Amino acid sequence: MTHTLKLGLQASAILFGAVCTVACNEAGSPGVEYAPQMYESIPYEPLKQENVNIINPMGLNMRTPVVGTVPLGKLSYYDHIPKDSVRIAEHTLRNPFRYTKANLEEGKVLYTRICSHCHGEQGDGQGPVGQKFKGVPNYSTGAYKTMNDGHIYHVIQWGRNRMMPHGSIVNPEERWKIAMYVRVLQQGKGPDGLADLVQAKGDDSPEIVDQSESTDRANQAPVEEAQAGKGSATPGQGGAQGRNGKAN
């Protein structure tokens, strides 16, 4: 009788342990990991950190860049004008690209992809995000209507007020072309302003219009160089290599 009871308790313990093993795993998990090497990479992955890396400094998989260094191809991403110096940027930076139909069309695509969720397709600040978080400007009113290309370029790079900087995701060539399209939206006609501008000058015109300066021409004298002639190693689709601009 005692022997039978002991066997029964042992069987119950084994059954309980098996049930607990399965139950304690995540829902839907069989409790067994087959070929774990297929799930957990043996080589170190830079964007995945599970255990302490005993080889690299500080136990990280991704090494910290050396202080003062610039990634290859990123030198011209920044014009070295301070974040809070938008007035210097608008007086100094000059758009190296011409206002052609192709450049404006590309600027429209980039604007729609990157900017319209806040600033709206019409440039009136009524994008889905702009409707929820008030304060996104209307490009065709007040001082926003006279922002020149250098001003817009600098704000895209560094951000302003609640707008976060986009310099790490938009290369210099793309910033200039977005700035071109913003100048179209300043007319208050929305995307139709581009078609009107092209129609007014003709599709065969090599250069539609030069709007690289604001209406306040008296204050447009350059005050410093801004990475003049520096080429972008990662230009956008079409066009020549992007430059941060130069002082005239």
**Residue-number span of the structural domain to which 152 is assigned:** 75-219
For the question of whether the overall pTM of this predicted structure is more than 0.75, the answer is no
83 inside domain: yes
23 inside domain: no
Q: Which pLDDT score, from 0 to 100, does residue 8 have?
A: 60
107 inside domain: yes
49 inside domain: no
56 inside domain: no
Q: Per the structure, how many domains does the chain have?
A: 1
Q: Which pLDDT score, from 0 to 100, does residue 45 have?
A: 81
123 inside domain: yes
Say whether pLDDT at 174 is over 60. Answer: yes
Which residues, 6+ apart, have CB-to-CB distance to 26 below 8 Å?
none
Computed over every residue of the chain, the mean pLDDT equals 74
CA distance 226 to 229: 9
The pLDDT tens digits of the residues spanning 102-111 come to 999 999 999 9
The pLDDT tens digits of the residues spanning 182-238 come to 999 998 888 888 877 776 655 544 444 444 444 443 443 333 333 333 444 444 433
At 98, which CATH number? Answer: 1.10.760.10
Lowest mean pLDDT among 42-51, 172-181, 225-234: 225-234
CA distance 56 to 86: 40
Q: Which pLDDT score, from 0 to 100, does residue 245 have?
A: 44
119 inside domain: yes
- What is the band of 148 on the pLDDT scale with cuts at 50, 70, 90? very high
Query: What average pLDDT does range 126-145 have in this prediction?
Result: 89
Q: Which pLDDT score, from 0 to 100, does residue 225 have?
A: 35
Query: What average pLDDT does range 122-150 have in this prediction?
Result: 90
25 inside domain: no
Q: Which pLDDT score, from 0 to 100, does residue 3 have?
A: 57
The pLDDT tens digits of the residues spanning 48-74 come to 777 788 888 778 888 778 888 887 877
Q: Is-contact 247 110, C-beta < 8 A?
A: no
